A and B are shown apart, each in its own frame.
Chain A
Amino acid sequence: MGELDGRVACVTGGTRGIGRAIAEAFLEEGAQVVINGRSPEKGEQALSEVGAGENLHFISGDVTDQAVCESLVDQTVEHFGKIDIMVNNAGGGGDAAPLVDMSDEIWNFVLNWNLNHPMWCMRRALKYMIPQEWGRIINISSMYGKTVIPTNSHYVTTKHGLNGLTKVVAHEVGAMGITVNALCPGGILTDVMNSDGRVAAEALGMEFQEFLDMMAAPSAIKRLNEVEDVSLVAVLLASDAGAGISGSLINVDGGQVPY
């Protein structure tokens, strides 16, 4: 008996990293899961590596595109018959630079990736969740949704925005059996970190390893987090037992952010 038996979930950015760990944890608890990602190739690879048969389905698409987000939610419902759990996990940074040098292109891209994509997916998913009076929305924010790192105004600002959005939506649907929460992980060595983190390190004038150490040092555990830390909490939030937790910005950062 899994904690998510009979549930249908959709996870953006679900082929690798945190999203993949969440998809696997949900599958283990009995859910049927749609994972999304830009690359059909990585999607196929994920399906074959996870080996969950018909319980896992891949839908390709770039979530910085509004139509893709909305269609992703609709296709999840078409494929598995409903949507119970929406995990807005895709996101990242890139082209890190002091604000004075921040380009419109990267600013708008990150705005779409980190803030608009959760808004688009959430709004669409609520159209299905409100009538069924049951739903779980989990936004993958970041410790930088509460704290700060120079040269990442786009990332920090959009994660702060996502935290605000999470709280508002939670209050709008709180009496309808739908919870909306954000998880705020510390640094995790995912593929996104490996690419965007390197760029950020360079913008800060440090080696990548120094950058990673800088992220772990203020924590209590003095090491980076792992994708499984995030999926552990995601399962709890998605389960029936998570019904009383909403509008929360939950730190999964090894004791880094003190609030």
Chain B
Amino acid sequence: MSAKNAAGTTDPMPLFTYALRLGDDALILAQRLSEWASRAPEIEEDIALTNIALDLLGQARALLDYAGVVEGAGRDEDDLAYLRTEREFYNVHLVEQENGDFAHTIARQLFFSTYQLSLYEELISSRDELLAGVAAKGVKEAAYHNDHATQWTIRLGDGTDESHSRMQAAVDRLWPYTAELFEADDVEKSLAAQGVAVDPSTLRSRWGLTIAEVFSSAMLTIPQIPWASHGGRRGVHTEGFGYLLAEMQYLHRTHPGAAW
């Protein structure tokens, strides 16, 4: 089984790459969200955001563990999370964007959870048992994450002048990172043809409708920005990603095999 990846080279193990792409999205967003621990605007929100981070971390563990099994080179979830370099991570740029203010974090959550919810709803029918299982468990989590982000988007967007302008600024800033969620190369297309993966380009119109609905309740304007960010799916990342990895991997690299 082989397929062309986003870099245009032939990928000998599309399923390995696919599991990493989904797993890295969850892992990196979990890492970003956990940066809010002890810093959220309210203690209730502190718990909510880190709770969401833990859900995503659980998804990441299952997917990275599976990627290691598929690869068959003896790497486990920890090896894949802590010992890969920047260019070996395949998450989209959206999830690695800095937390910014609370509105930026909520906009990032809204964009990602809307995508992930529809992805998991489709992936439940995957012929791959593990992917279908992760999706079946994750779909309830994603539905809650999506609800949480939607409620906040509406309250901030349709709140005070200050909260509205900050929410609109967050949406404008992160909009160029949403197109990448729906890009498909031969990895997704070949696996989708076999009934294993979901071709993300098929999720785009539904995503657009959902976001438009939320924006209309939140009094937000859909940005018109032609530029879009690309490259995460083939390991090319934005500026902040190296710092994120340095913090995430520091302990494991300094004390290999450290356990609690």
- Please say whether chains A and B are actual partners in one complex: no
Interfacial residues, chain B to chain A (CB-CB below 8 A): none
